[in-house]
């Protein structure tokens, strides 16, 4: 039998989360962001599951959109980084993708396309994050100059830097700077990611772009609403060895953990090559037989070791939850000094995604 290391993808949780977030913004339309292989959940699977509730999808790059087309997904796809090269304008047209334009170079590539073979576009505005987008002062002029490239699909979009932090006033500043410039243009807007959808009602535009929340990640520093998001991924692996380690003995590479008392140590078939973070320290929680246990010793490439001294009858083949319903991915991310976005997207291709439908 092969190794039992799996990412279980919960179709019901994806649907529940999308619907909850969409319902929080009833005047908007919502699209699922499925870039980076749907935050590690499997873009084709996720798009198939959500295609009846999400009438558009968003990806980062055109290759991600084409992979969805190859799998038979037909909804329009917004490409958030737009074109990296001129030829992508034609690819976007052929594949019914909407390019998010953030530079004059991209608009020039689009202008060079035959007028009847141009993809729809959005315009991206830099309202303060300073990553991508036209400067606020240039937006009105860009809209005037390139009006012939706009269509009834065109949306003016921006992105927030701090929307998960409800105490951070920067979101209000971005919002008002953006609105001051774009409201007079009288075009549809798209501002909110999932944190903004939950935390900043004033940011709800024509389209909200829902990523992390769809996957059950933590979207707010405070519980502002009664929205409950469910983890869409359970990362689990089985125990492949159990041993008694005498007091005073070290475990794993570098012997970073030493048994303070006689201990029972289980070896689990998952490591950093699977996407379990090497930075997880001693004490990072896992779940075995309905009880919490702790990671002990360094994370190896293919294995970890956990202390199961307090859990009776742990055996080879028992399943261990690394994150999911009982151990939140956010808790593990905090242990590893990172964020849930990174943990989700780093689950490697070696880990089969098993979609569970209820």
Ligand X SMILES: Cc1ncc(COP(=O)(O)O)c(C=O)c1O
Binding residues for ligand X, rule: CB under 6 A, are 33, 80, 159, 193-195, 209-213
Our CB check for ligand X shows the closer of 170 and 300 to be: 170
**Token couple for 253:** 């590479």
Minimal distance, residue 270 CB to ligand X, in Å: 25
CA distance 123 to 100: 6
Which residues lie across from 267 on neighbouring strands? 241, 305
Clarify whether 253 is annotated catalytic: yes
Give me the catalytic one of 104, 146, 218, 253: 253
Q: How many residues does the chain have?
A: 358
Our CB check for ligand X shows the closer of 35 and 353 to be: 35
Our CB check for ligand X shows the closer of 67 and 113 to be: 67
Our CB check for ligand X shows the closer of 198 and 266 to be: 198
| H or E element that contains 49 | helix 43-50
Minimal distance, residue 157 CB to ligand X, in Å: 7
Minimal distance, residue 218 CB to ligand X, in Å: 10
CA distance 191 to 204: 7
* Contact of 154 with 120, CB cutoff 8 Å: yes
The angle, 0 to 180 degrees and rounded to 10, between the axes of the packed helices 43-50 and 62-70 is 70
Residue 281 per-residue DSSP state: P
Long-range CB contact pairs, 144-150, < 8 A, 24+: 146/107, 146/111, 149/107, 149/110, 149/111, 149/118, 149/121, 150/121, 150/123, 150/187
Our CB check for ligand X shows the closer of 59 and 287 to be: 59
Give me the catalytic one of 35, 215, 218, 272: 35
Minimal distance, residue 213 CB to ligand X, in Å: 6
Residue 195 per-residue DSSP state: H
Our CB check for ligand X shows the closer of 46 and 210 to be: 210
Minimal distance, residue 315 CB to ligand X, in Å: 39
Minimal distance, residue 237 CB to ligand X, in Å: 26
The SS3 call for residue 87 is helix
* Contact of 150 with 167, CB cutoff 8 Å: no
The residues annotated as belonging to the active site are 35, 253
């Amino acid at each position: 039998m092969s190794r039992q290391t799996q990412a279980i993808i919960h179709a019901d949780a994806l649907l529940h989360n999308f619907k909850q977030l969409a319902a929080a913004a009833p005047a908007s339309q919502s699209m699922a962001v499925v870039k980076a292989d749907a935050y590690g959940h499997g873009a084709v699977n996720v798009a198939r599951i959500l295609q009846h509730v999400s009438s558009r999808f968003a990806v980062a790059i055109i290759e991600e959109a084409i992979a969805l087309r190859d799998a038979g997904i037909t909804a329009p796809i917004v490409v958030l980084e737009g074109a990296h090269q001129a030829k992508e304008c034609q690819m976007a047209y052929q594949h019914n993708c909407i390019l998010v334009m953030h530079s004059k170079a991209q608009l020039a590539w689009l202008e060079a396309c035959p007028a009847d073979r141009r993809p729809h576009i959005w315009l991206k505005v830099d309202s303060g994050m300073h990553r991508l987008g036209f400067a606020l002062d240039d937006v009105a002029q860009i809209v005037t100059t390139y009006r012939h490239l706009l269509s009834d699909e065109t949306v003016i979009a921006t992105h927030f830097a701090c929307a998960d932090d409800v105490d951070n006033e920067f979101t209000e500043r971005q919002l008002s700077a953006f609105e001051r410039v774009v409201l007079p243009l009288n075009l549809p807007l798209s501002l909110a990611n999932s944190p903004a959808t939950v935390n900043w009602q004033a940011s709800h535009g024509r389209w909200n772009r829902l990523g992390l929340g769809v996957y059950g990640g933590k979207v707010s520093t405070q519980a502002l609403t009664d929205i409950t998001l469910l983890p869409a991924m359970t990362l689990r692996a089985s125990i492949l060895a159990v041993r008694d380690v005498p007091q005073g003995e070290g475990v794993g590479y570098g012997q970073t953990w030493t048994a303070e008392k006689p201990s029972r140590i289980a070896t689990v078939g998952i490591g950093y090559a699977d996407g379990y973070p090497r930075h997880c320290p001693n004490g990072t929680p896992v779940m075995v037989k309905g009880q919490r246990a702790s990671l002990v010793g360094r994370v190896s490439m293919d294995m970890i070791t956990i202390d199961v001294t307090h859990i009776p009858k742990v055996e080879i083949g028992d399943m261990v939850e690394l994150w999911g319903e009982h151990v939140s991915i956010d808790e593990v991310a905090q242990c590893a000094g990172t964020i849930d976005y990174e943990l989700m997207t780093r689950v490697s291709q070696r880990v089969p995604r098993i979609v569970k439908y209820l």
